[in-house]
Amino acid sequence: MGIATMKLIVEEEDRRTIEVASQLIKRISQESYTEEQQQRLLRLLETILIYKFPEMSRREIEGMFGLSELKQTKVYQEAKQEGREERDQEIMSKMIPKFLSLNWTVE
């Protein structure tokens, strides 16, 4: 996976970049990566593609490479939800002391 990702980064021809990216995306979904690993690899590929195709929007790139379909999978959605829950807990842990210092109730 690492070598294929490096090939994607150094590839200069747009057509070949598209082929390599498509192959990598398939590999991510087929190989036995954890949810977190899949999410990180997809984000890495998406970032590389954004730099490789600066004239395209993120949505265009997602559509072109089928990333939006991968993001609709249960695995991706669960990982995204876990991230939201962790963020919400972090926000609440910071806000509760502030509320209490203002004599506000947690509710």
Domains of the chain by residue range: 2-71, 73-107
Give the chain's mean pLDDT: 80
Render pLDDT for 58-92 as a digit per residue (tens, 0 to 9).
778 777 777 665 565 565 567 677 888 888 888 88
- Residue 71 buriedness (CB in 10 A; 0-12 / 13-18 / 19+): middle
Question: Which of the four pLDDT bands, split at 50, 70 and 90, describes residue 105?
Answer: confident
What is residue 58's predicted lDDT score, i.e. its pLDDT? 76
* Side chain identity at residue 73, one-letter code: T
Q: Using DSSP, how many helices (H) and how many strands (E) does the chain show?
A: 6, 0
